Amino acid sequence: ISVRSGSVTWEKVDINRSNTCTQSSGTDGFVIQLKQSNMIQSSSQIHRQETKDKKHNETNKRCTKEHFSQNGDKMQEHTEEPGSKKLFKQPAEDQVIEEAQPWRSGCKMQVDGVEEEPPDWLENLFSDHDGSDCSVIDASSTASTPPASVEEPMVVEDHNGEERAALVPSLFPLMPPTLYFSTANEKVELLPAEQRRLLKWKMSTVTPNIVKHTIARSHFKATKRNHDWLGCWGHHMKSPGFKALGEHQKLNHFPGTFEIGRKDRLWRNLSKMQLRFGKKEFSFLPRTFILPQDIKLLRKAWEDGGSTQKWIVKPPASARGMGIQVIHKWSQMPKKRPLLVQKYLQKPYLIGGNKFDLRIYVYVPSYDPLRIYMFSDGLVRFASCKYSSSTKTLGNKFMHLTNYSVNKKNSEYQTNSDNKACQGHKWALKALWLYLGSKGINTTLIWGKIKDIVIKTIIASEPYVNNLLKMHVKTTYSCHELFGFDIMLDENLKPWILEVNISPSLHSNSELDISIKGQMIRDLLNLAGFQIPQREKEISSCSSASSSSNRERTKPDLSADEKVKRAFFLTQPSADQDLVSSVLDVLTPEDVHVLAESEDELSRRGEFERIFPSQSSSRYLRFFECLRYPNILLDQWEQKYWNNRTKCISLLKSFCEKGVHLGTSDPAHMWARGNYNFGSEREKPTVMSPSRVLVSHQTATDEDLLDSEVVTVSSLPGLLSSGSSPGSSVSSSVCSSPQPSLTQNLLSQQFSL
């Protein structure tokens, strides 16, 4: 196959296994299809294919033109300037384009045509300016070198598996369906052409192959355009960059998660929680010092620990074991550069004499309300040399570090391709549980402790992320994130967090990796709930699964009575369970929408387990810096219905059939004082008229300042402090600082609508 000046000529080429290569040409790009055959396609077949594709390209042009005519501003913003460089070079003359996937017998790759260069505002987003562990994309180098997403195109496996519907209908009427992502042995039906052309995925230089294969099975096409894609798996970016996300787009990061993704920020935030709530609740991260500011504290701890204490030195934003060393002498301490020094866990739990750590996959589809999932499987990564506590061995990274990127360089490293086998230097997490269970160890207890520290760690990042979401993101739909928690068990089987990765490696170097990560990514993308944009001029109602969503409306802002209800419940003592549980007595339109969305998501969980909210998650509400109403609502919902999902789904269906979640004037779904039955001895709170609530937002303009939301409630005795009069007002600042005071009164009247 040769490419010359944008046209295509045909030449006989030797393709492995006598594959037939068919080629279609058009101004919008090219499609390569490799099909098993024993003979070269005839010229008449080629001519018919080119004619068909020419018509197809003309149709796409018309549709694109219509789309731009509806979004004129965006077209002007993203149009390539005359004379500017192309993002990709045209293939060199006589360049042969091929797909190198030796384990596939056949493939199909579709890539959007040569795209315009992205504007400077997008090129500048992908940097580590805000502390994220990522690299800067250089515009010049990108223009001259095709990115990995073109060099390693998406692959669809040839198989005869079961065909699955492309859209998963909601459990509830008038709620949108979501796109289905299949396993390798399933086949996804084709959507109608007018919907299928919207399946665009923004490729990044870091998009893993495991993600490419999964989205390709759902017929996504790779794109480099900046405005029409639905999903992207890429770098963490600067917080202001999230403003560019459209309401129909979903990126695999939240702003602000570097607060736990950087080792220094993780320690700072967890140590702050430890000071507020005690070591009993937050003693799962080894004691850490951030240099140079903590140098005096480190020196004192060093002297107190004695000569036998070992310390592990890490760069604050490193990955894959780079720059890590274990030391025991003060003279070995690197000088004059930012470092993180952590107390070394000298007595880890050993298997076969080797230390190991666990890679736990944690998925957060939403921060408001907060919902946390843990994947049921993971990886167990062993050091490739038997452990010794002798100080003479501290320079042996194969003994003291468990990172795969380090140990694979050891000639004694043993691979493992069986996810059920306890062999080699990498196991499946489920295999570890079977091994420990055979030793009489309570693995359920260990798993429960891991869930506990994961929930607490995510909560530590919650105020930062939510305030940045308010500042920079149009809709919470646009963000979701996969975290990789690295956890080590000590000799008493207590789990310790070593670090949290906001871009965990998804490289699949073995059948074991493919088995675990492939299933995890497939389930994650289904959980994410990707939707086709509901634009009447672009979306056809041909599919029965999507026709039910045509009546869906953009949900309105909170009504006045909903604001009053939220303010009321956020100021009640959490210990009064009878009062708090009454939040479910009257479900407002927004309540129904939040609950239906949560139940829909839970039904798509696959091998993920939701650990927050749960039937026992109430104990974690006190760890939130500012209590949020949706978290109270979901917590009470779980307590009431966790063991009877059929009943709660039936209730929500009855509401959605009437369109309650889209807004209603039905008094049964409007919050008022008369809806509550308080005990005879309890004084009934006087609830003010909805018109008496004023909510004002004061938003900081500096990138590093978080959102400050001031809520003023007038003439609401039930919300006032003990010394206030009915005519006074209360003003509360919610999450007004990215680093709240350690002495802040947790019982103060702070609430977030």
Question: Cβ(487)–Cβ(393) under 8 Å?
Answer: no
Question: Are residues 577 and 450 both part of a single domain?
Answer: no
**What confidence score (pLDDT) does residue 555 get?**
52
Question: Are residues 462 and 576 both part of a single domain?
Answer: no
Question: Cβ(220)–Cβ(231) under 8 Å?
Answer: yes
Question: Cβ(589)–Cβ(651) under 8 Å?
Answer: no
Give me the sheet containing 325-327, strands edge to edge: 288-291, 339-343, 311-314, 325-327
Q: How many whole angstroms separate alpha carbon 225 and alpha carbon 628?
A: 37
The domain boundary, picked from 663, 683, 703, lies at 683
Angle at 421 between CA 419 and CA 426, to 5 degrees: 70
Residues 327-342: pLDDT tens digits? 988 888 887 788 999 9
Is the pLDDT reported for residue 574 higher than 50? yes
Residue 291 inside a domain? The answer is: no
Residue 510 inside a domain? The answer is: yes
Question: Cβ(448)–Cβ(433) under 8 Å?
Answer: no
Count of structural domains within the chain: 3
SS3 per residue for 661-673: HHCCCCHHHCCCH
Tokens, residue 311 = 């310390």
Strand partners, 729: 714
Which of the four pLDDT bands, split at 50, 70 and 90, describes residue 575?
low
Q: What is the average per-residue pLDDT within 107-128? A: 35
Question: Are residues 571 and 505 both part of a single domain?
Answer: no
**What confidence score (pLDDT) does residue 577 get?**
81
Angle between helices 560-570 and 629-641 (to 10 degrees): 80
Q: Is residue 468 classed as helix, strand or coil in its secondary structure?
A: helix
Judged on CB neighbours under 10 Å (0-12, 13-18, 19+), 584 is middle
Question: Are residues 139 and 27 both part of a single domain?
Answer: yes
Q: Which of 87, 94, 128 is nearest to 111 (CA)?
A: 87
Question: Are residues 440 and 372 both part of a single domain?
Answer: yes
In 3-state terms the chain splits into helix, strand, coil percentages (rounded to 5) of 35, 20, 45
Is the pLDDT reported for residue 1 higher than 80? no
Q: Which residues have C-beta within 8 Å of that of residue 362, sequence separation ≥ 6?
A: 372, 373, 374, 375, 454, 458, 482, 483, 484, 485
Taken in order 142, 143, 149, 150, the sign of the CA dihedral is: negative
Tokens, residue 594 = 């939040």
Question: Are residues 557 and 499 both part of a single domain?
Answer: no
Q: Which residues have C-beta within 8 Å of that of residue 35, sequence separation ≥ 6?
A: 19, 20, 22, 106
Question: Are residues 597 and 667 both part of a single domain?
Answer: yes
Q: What is the average per-residue pLDDT within 474-503? A: 97
Per DSSP bridges, beta strands 231-232 and 200-202 are: parallel
Q: What is the average per-residue pLDDT within 270-282? A: 97
Question: Are residues 448 and 566 both part of a single domain?
Answer: no
Q: Which of 333-347, 590-604, 686-700 has the lowest mean pLDDT?
A: 686-700
Question: Cβ(409)–Cβ(383) under 8 Å?
Answer: no
> What are the helix (H) ranges across 425-548?
429-438, 443-472, 511-528, 544-547
Q: Which of 382, 501, 494, 498 is nearest to 431 (CA)?
A: 382
**pLDDT > 70 fraction of the chain, expressed in percent and rounded:** 64
Question: Cβ(379)–Cβ(359) under 8 Å?
Answer: yes
Q: How many whole angstroms separate alpha carbon 158 and alpha carbon 160?
A: 7
Phi-psi region of 432 (alpha: psi -120 to 50; beta: other; left: phi over 0): alpha
Q: Is residue 379 classed as helix, strand or coil in its secondary structure?
A: strand
Is the pLDDT reported for residue 287 higher than 50? yes
Residue 301 inside a domain? The answer is: no
Indicate which CATH number applies to the domain containing 386. Answer: 3.30.470.20
Question: Are residues 488 and 555 both part of a single domain?
Answer: no
The domain boundary, picked from 662, 683, 704, lies at 683
Which of the four pLDDT bands, split at 50, 70 and 90, describes residue 161?
low
Measured CA to CA in angstroms, residue 357 lies from 6, 218, 429, 487 at distances of 52, 34, 10, 6
Residue 729 inside a domain? The answer is: no
283 vs 52, which has greater pLDDT?
283
Q: Is residue 707 classed as helix, strand or coil in its secondary structure?
A: coil
Question: Cβ(357)–Cβ(488) under 8 Å?
Answer: yes
Question: Are residues 25 and 59 both part of a single domain?
Answer: yes
Residue 420 inside a domain? The answer is: yes
Q: Which residues have C-beta within 8 Å of that of residue 101, sequence separation ≥ 6?
A: 107, 155
Judged on CB neighbours under 10 Å (0-12, 13-18, 19+), 138 is exposed
Is the pLDDT reported for residue 432 higher than 70? yes
State the virtual CA torsion across 460, 465, 466, 472 in degrees, nearest 10.
Answer: 170
Q: Is residue 515 classed as helix, strand or coil in its secondary structure?
A: helix
Tokens, residue 545 = 């699964």
Q: Which of 450-459, 587-596, 730-739 has the lowest mean pLDDT?
A: 730-739
Q: How many whole angstroms separate alpha carbon 396 and alpha carbon 73?
A: 59
Residue 670 inside a domain? The answer is: yes
**What confidence score (pLDDT) does residue 480 get?**
99
The domain boundary, picked from 480, 495, 527, lies at 527
Helix (H) or strand (E) holding 333: none
Q: What is the average per-residue pLDDT within 562-583? A: 86
Q: How many whole angstroms separate alpha carbon 242 and alpha carbon 238?
A: 8
Q: What is the average per-residue pLDDT within 55-68? A: 45
Q: Is the peptide bond before 292 cis (omega within 30 degrees of 0)?
A: yes
Residue 668 inside a domain? The answer is: yes
Q: How many whole angstroms separate alpha carbon 286 and alpha carbon 264?
A: 12
**What confidence score (pLDDT) does residue 139 get?**
30
Question: Are residues 181 and 130 both part of a single domain?
Answer: yes
318 vs 196, which has greater pLDDT?
196
Q: Which of 52-56, 529-533, 617-621, 745-749 has the lowest mean pLDDT?
A: 745-749
Residue 461 inside a domain? The answer is: yes
Mean confidence (pLDDT) of the chain: 75
**What confidence score (pLDDT) does residue 84 get?**
38
Taken in order 162, 166, 168, 173, the sign of the CA dihedral is: negative
DSSP 752: B
SS3 per residue for 246-313: CCCCEECCCCCCHHHHCHHHHHHHHHHHHHHHCCCCCCCCCCEEEECCCHHHHHHHHHHHCCCCCEEE
DSSP 103: T
Q: How many whole angstroms separate alpha carbon 146 and alpha carbon 135?
A: 17
Is the pLDDT reported for residue 568 higher than 70? yes
Question: Are residues 478 and 429 both part of a single domain?
Answer: yes
Q: Which of 44-58, 90-104, 238-252 has the lowest mean pLDDT?
A: 90-104
Is the pLDDT reported for residue 446 higher than 60? yes
Q: Which residues of 273-306 are buried (b: 16+ CB within 10 A; e: fewer)?
A: bbebeeeebbebbbebbbbeebeeebeebbeeee
Segment of 100-104, 151-155, 650-654 carrying the highest mean pLDDT: 650-654
Which of the four pLDDT bands, split at 50, 70 and 90, describes residue 703?
very low
Give the structural domain span for 603: 547-683
